[in-house]
Amino acid sequence: MGMTMTQKILAFHAGLDKVSPGQLINAKLDIVLGNDITTPVAVNEFNKAGFDKVFDKDKVAIVLDHFVPNKDIKAAQQSKQCREFACEHCVSHFYDVGKMGIEHALLPEQGVVTAGDCIIGADSHTCTYGALGAFSTGVGSTDMAAGMATGMAWFKVPYAIKFNLTGKLPANCSGKDVILTIIGMIGVDGALYRSMEFTGEGVATLSMDDRLCICNMAIEAGAKNGIFPVDEKTVEYMTGRCERTPKVFEADADAEYDETYEINLSEIVPTVSCPHLPENTHPAKELGDIKIDQVVIGSCTNGRMEDMEAAYKILNGKKVADGVRCIIIPATMQIMRECVEKGYVTAFIDAGAVVSTPTCGPCLGGYMGILAEGERCIATTNRNFVGRMGHVESEVYLASPYTAAASALTGYICEYEEA
Element (H, E) at 159: strand 159-166
Task: Give the integer Cα–Cα distance in Å for 361 and 355.
Answer: 12
Which CATH code fits 271-410? 3.30.499.10
Element (H, E) at 325: strand 325-328
Given this structure, which CATH class describes domain 5-264? alpha beta
Q: At what angle do helices 305-315 and 401-410 cross, to 10 degrees?
A: 30
Given this model, what pLDDT does residue 288 score?
83
Given this model, what pLDDT does residue 243 score?
87
Element (H, E) at 223: none
CA distances from 337 to 231, 240, 257, 404 (A): 29, 20, 43, 22
Given this model, what pLDDT does residue 419 score?
64
Task: Give the integer Cα–Cα distance in Å for 353 and 410.
Answer: 14
Residue limits of CATH 3.30.499.10 in the chain: 5-264, 271-410
SS3 93: strand
Give DSSP secondary structure letters for 276-294. Answer: T-TT-EEEGGG-TT-B-SE
Task: Give the integer Cα–Cα distance in Å for 93 and 60.
Answer: 7
| Sheet arrangement for strand 194-199 | 225-227, 194-199, 159-166, 259-264
Q: What is the pLDDT of residues 273-301, one digit of tens each?
A: 999 999 999 999 999 899 999 999 999 99
Give the sign of the dihedral formed by CA 77, CA 79, CA 85, CA 88. negative
pTM of the complete model: 0.95
Alpha carbon distance, N-terminus to C-terminus of the chain: 53
Closest C-alpha to 357, from 398, 329, 315: 329
Alpha-helix runs per DSSP H in 117-246: 141-150, 175-186, 208-216, 232-238
Residue 250 one-letter amino acid? E
Element (H, E) at 271: strand 271-273
Residue spans of the chain under pLDDT 70 = 419
CA distances from 276 to 54, 148, 282, 355, 373 (A): 40, 35, 13, 27, 15
Report the greatest alpha carbon distance in the chain.
63
Q: How much helix, strand and coil, in percent to the nearest 5, is found in the chain?
A: 35, 20, 45
Give the sign of the dihedral formed by CA 342, CA 203, CA 135, CA 242. negative
Torsion from C-alpha of 122, 127, 130, 132, nearest 10 degrees: -60
